Amino acid sequence: MTGLSVAVIKGDGIGVDVTDAALAVVDRALSLVGAAPLRYVPIQAGAGYFQETGQDIEPGGEERCGACDAIFLGAIGLPSVRHADGTEISPHLRLRDRFGLYAGVRPVKAYPNAPRRLADPRAADIDLVILRESTEGLFYSAAAHGRAQVIGDDEVRDTLRITRATTEKLHRFGFRLAERRKAKGAPGRLTCVDKANVFASMAFFRKIYDEIAPEFPNVETGYAYVDAQALNLVRAPWDCDVLVMENMFGDILSDLAGGLVGGMGMAACAEIGDEIGLFQPAHGSAPDIMGQDKANPLAAILSGALMLEYLAERSGLDIFAVAAARIEDAVSAGFAANRLRPMEFGGDMGTQAVTKEVLAQIG
């Protein structure tokens, strides 16, 4: 199979810079392993586009995304550009909803010579994944405007939605992910993070987890209430493997976990559905540093590696997985040699310098 296509939404702020960096690294890795180049399909979307046109994505943009093999997104949003109700411009939430991108994969890994916020030497061993359901939960009301119930100027009610169909797929995805990690030396444990002691929706989420677990006897199970899990991520994150949770819980805990290993400039993200996957750095658009060569592109670069792993599985071409490993190894080697020093961490390397070093480490 050749000619796999990727819809590219560079978006707003530093999204443009980090997307260019990520795709340059992806292209180099594919070239070095002898894989066919990807075909990029540019799509205009974001707050800047909304400011110019009144639309958050170009006409036919969603359909063109769906016709591709994957979607790569830089960043979307500008603080000064909002809808009349005060919410930010967020076509990516609609893309999640439209394409059923239920499995939000947020790897959290400590790298040598990168900042670690915990003094315990075991913090060097942090290597976990937050699996965030990305289409339902409390974000159900935000995916498409109008789902919140607004009662005059006195009250607003947002709906938290948990469905069996989506939750079954999410938990099976989590168990399979834990299996793959176990094969590579990780504990092979999937922890269900919820608030089942208070909310019926969360008890339902845990009930489905318990129903799915017997299908995966080689994966260790575990449970944590979300508040206790927040404590554990600070107290002993090196004990965590794969944590599966509702949308809002995942939104919050993934940022907390990202802070443990340097910051959001390291926060890669994959959002995967049954037919397509979307890949993006989990950080924002940071308009205060846009165009200044200060952004850390590593979250976007590592998201590019996640995209290649997904395309390997989708296409059956293992060579894409080889290219993904080249990128991941390059980032690890660069940090180990202290040759990756992003400004985000107080270093002396901007977007272009970090990208150039990753390319050099790839070969």
Q: Which residue has the tokens 């359901």?
A: 133
Spell out the domains of the chain, with CATH numbers in brackets: 1-102+268-363 (3.40.718.10), 116-260 (3.40.718.10)
CA dihedral of 276, 257, 129, 195, whole degrees rounded to 10: -90
Report the C-alpha gap between 321 and 307 in whole angstroms.
Answer: 9
Write out pLDDT tens, residues 9-34. 999 999 999 999 999 999 999 999 99
Q: Which position among 195, 209, 241, 310 bears the catalytic label?
A: 195
List Cα–Cα distances, 18 to 188, 213, 275, in angstroms.
32, 38, 26
CB 280 within 8 A of CB 101: no
Q: Which position among 49, 111, 140, 209 bears the catalytic label?
A: 140
Report the C-alpha gap between 262 and 254 in whole angstroms.
Answer: 13
Q: Kindly state the helix (H) or strand (E) to which residue 355 belongs, with its residue range.
A: helix 351-362
Q: What is the DSSP letter of 123?
A: G
Q: How confident is the model at residue 1 (pLDDT cuts 50, 70, 90)?
A: very low
Quick one: average pLDDT of 142-162?
A: 78
Q: Which position among 85, 227, 288, 318 bears the catalytic label?
A: 227
348: annotated active-site residue: no
Q: Which residue has the tokens 């293992």?
A: 318
Global confidence as pTM: 0.93
Largest CA distance in the chain: 61
* Backbone torsion region of residue 280, taken as left when φ is above 0, otherwise alpha when ψ lies between -120 and 50, otherwise beta: beta
CA contacts within 13 A on the Cβ side of 48: 15
CB 358 within 8 A of CB 330: yes
What is the token pair recorded at 288? Answer: 């205060």
Given this model, what pLDDT does residue 144 score?
54
255: annotated active-site residue: yes
What is the token pair recorded at 14? Answer: 């530093």
Q: Which position among 27, 97, 255, 329 bears the catalytic label?
A: 255
158: annotated active-site residue: no
Given this model, what pLDDT does residue 146 score?
52
Q: How confident is the model at residue 139 (pLDDT cuts 50, 70, 90)?
A: confident
Instruction: Give ∠ CA 133-135-141 in degrees, rounded to 5.
Output: 125
What is the token pair recorded at 67? Answer: 């016709």
Report the C-alpha gap between 342 and 1 in whole angstroms.
Answer: 37
| Residue % of the chain over a pLDDT of 90 | 85
Report the C-alpha gap between 98 and 93 in whole angstroms.
Answer: 9
